Amino acid sequence: MRLMQASHTAPLEQLPKLIAEHAATAGMRDVAVFVVDLRETVLRRLTGRGPAAGDGGQEFTVAGSLPGQAYQRVELLPEPERDGPDDRPGGRRWWVAITDGVERLGVLRADTATGDEATRQSLRDLASMTALLLLSKRSFSDSHARLVRTEPMNVAAEMQWNLTPPPAFAGLGTTVGAVMEPAYQVGGDVFDYAVAGSTLHLGVFDAMGHDTTAGITANVAVAACRNARRQGASLSETSHQVEQTLIEQFATSRYVTAILADLDMETGRLTWINRGHHLPILIRDNRWTSELACPPAGPMGADLGLPIRTATEQFEPGDRLLLYTDGIVEARDKQGREFGRDRFVDFVRRHHSGRHTLHETLRRLMAAVMDHHDGALDDDATVLLTEWRGGHQHTLIP
Amino acid sequence: MSPRGPEEPDRTDTLQVHVDALGVGRCLLTAVGSLDLHTAPKFSDALQPLLRDGNQSVLVDLSEIAFIDSTGLTSLIAAYRTTRATGARLALIAPSERVRRMLAVTGTDQVLPSYATVNAVPD
């Protein structure tokens, strides 16, 4: 509590020192904070020094390091005894994922004299508190923005990362995760979700083109969508409003395809419309998958005059819904072979069946898509994955 | 968008377009190659003038379009919109699998009719 109050007037740069000082009074020494980059490949120490607040800091890869393991598995992991501090026999060095319970922000390192359950709980508490402090400071921190980037970013991506909600949500028996690539050179892809009462609004958008105007188009579309939604418009009314706004701004020269959906998190009822986008995929029981059907009403802004049909689907507990853009399935390797829809769905099924959390699955999926495409995508690729537990959840592990 | 390097080829060459008259008020535009970000302006420059005459029927052969992206689709939607303004007729001939998939996913196939051959297009 004292740490929370002390943090109110501290910028991001002062957090590591503040956290370490408070942790020391609770017996956790040499505490260090590491944040993960945008693509979740490296963990960089937040030192508070220099233009990126990371000068003089160590760096670990997410794949193949112990801190990376703690991050991937969202766990508390000790270093082997022999690597512990020599001057403190019996002491241990720990790595714990920094998470607000939903989004993974990085890892925290700490040394303790003992390894009992009370100590482990203190470490988890400290990581939770650190997550909340980072979240409260990063939105106005350029240092943080620099620290989590490993490449220069284009203007469209700068817009898109400010437009999207956090890449993770959990609540009311429902978990949502999202990934978007190329993280630094995105064009017109964007995802959105929001909660109102028991309704979870979901959307995935793809603005045509790959230039900055595509990014502007996507921004206008999402803003118009939220504006209509917040005034109580239905899905079809919302998409009509988006269409009108796009025509006013771009005179039918710019279009956006989208799936807009509402999930009732209490009943599992999904309602959705198709504005000329790839159809959603439903994964049930981890055994069978199906493409949901709804005739396309044409891209928003194209004014094709097609009827907007509303489709419904009753979820069963454990169902997962995949909304995605074409870059995921159409990424091509050197021989021109597409990553493909089957490989995409199969990947999610194999990795998200108890082996990994939803967000770790998405991280690995995007790494596989990028790898398939030799590390650089031509087209934008976005996935929004929603899992509905329908009251059968134990704890929601993001 | 980085400036084109000296060794990078002119990517508009990946699309070939030519127009044949099929008699009075009817013509066939054949496009071969890739209809994308780089070539869509070339495609539209050839197609749009043909649609300005409201009495014209314009057939567009897309059987040899190996690749189409969202910018390519945009040029087809723009062509459809021009016909709505001028009254010209536009029909697609034997669109390739890739083109057909994109037209179907977006619903554009509902407004842009496709025919297997030139002869299958009604007068």
Do A115 and A162 have their domain in common? no
Is the distance from CB of A272 to CB of A260 less than 8 angstroms?
A: yes
- Residue where one domain finishes, among candidates A147, A165, A199: A147
Domains and their CATH numbers in chain B: 14-110 (3.30.750.24)
Percent helix, percent strand, percent coil in chain B, to nearest 5: 40, 30, 30
Q: Does residue A398 lie in a domain region?
A: no
Residue A123, domain CATH: 3.30.450.40
Instruction: Verify that A100 and A162 share a domain, yes or no.
Output: no
CA distance A286 to A356: 14
Same structural domain for residues A162 and A279? yes
Is-contact A384 A202, C-beta < 8 A? yes
Provide the sign of the torsion angle of the four alpha carbons A11, A14, A16, A17, taken in this order.
negative
Name the band, by pLDDT with cuts 50, 70 and 90, for residue A102: confident
Distance CA A103, CA A135 (A): 10
Q: What are phi and psi of A235, to 5 degrees?
A: -60, -45
Last residue of a domain, one of A91, A125, A147: A147
Same domain, A73 and A93: yes
Q: Which residues in chain A touch residue B1, judged by CB atoms under 8 angstroms apart?
A: 211
Of A86-90, A173-177, A251-255, A275-279, the least confident: A86-90
- Out of A147, A171, A201, pick the residue that ends a domain: A147
Distance in angstroms (rounded) separating the CA atoms of residues A132 and A99: 8
Residue A269, pLDDT above cutoff 50:
yes
Q: Which letter, b or e, does each residue of B30-45 get, where b requires 16 or more Cβ atoms within 10 Å of its Cβ? A: bbbbbbbbbbbebbbe
Please give the residue of chain B at the shortest CA–CA distance from A154: B1
* Residue A206 to residue B78, Cβ atoms within 8 A: no
Segments forming the whole domain that contains residue A348: 155-388
Query: Residue A190 carries which DSSP code?
Result: E
Give the integer Cα–Cα distance in Å for A214 and A332: 22
**Which residue(s) pair with B67 in the sheet?**
B34
For A327, which residue in chain B has the nearest alpha carbon? B69
Rounded distance between C-alpha atoms, residue A211 and residue B83, angstroms: 27
pLDDT tens digits for range B60-101: 999 999 999 889 999 999 999 999 999 999 999 999 999 999
Report yes or no on A395 lying in a domain. no
Residue B71 Cα, gap to closest chain A Cα (Å): 5
Residues A136, A169: one domain?
Answer: no
Question: Which tokens hold the place of A300?
Answer: 């928003």
A393 within some domain? no
Q: Are residues A137 and A167 in the same domain?
A: no
Residues A143, A91 share a domain: yes
Say yes or no for a CB contact (<8 Å) between B107 and A303: no
Among candidates B81, B107, B108 on the partner chain, residue whose Cβ is nearest the Cβ of A295: B107
A115 and A172 together in one domain = no
Q: What is the spatial distance between Cα A88 and Cα A27, in angstroms, rounded to a whole number?
A: 13
Q: Which of A253, A257, A303 is nearest residue B106 as measured by Cβ atoms?
A: A257
Chain A residue at shortest CA distance from B98: A330
Residue B106 has its nearest CB partner, among A210, A253, A296, at: A296
| Interchain contact, A303 vs B81, CB within 8 Å | yes
pLDDT in tens, B22-62: 988 999 999 999 999 899 999 999 999 999 988 999 999 99
Q: What is the pLDDT of residue B3?
A: 42
The answer as to whether A394 is a domain residue is: no
Residues of B with CB under 8 A from a CB of A: 1, 37, 69-71, 73-74, 77-78, 80-81, 104-108, 110-111
Minimum CA–CA partner of B110 in chain A: A306
Is residue A135 located within the same domain as residue A159? no
Domain count, chain A: 2
Going by their DSSP bridges, the two strands A288-291 and A281-284 should be labelled as antiparallel
Q: Cis ω on the peptide bond leading into residue B41 (within 30° of 0)?
A: no
Residue A201's domain is classified under what CATH number? Answer: 3.60.40.10
Q: Is residue A267 part of a domain?
A: yes
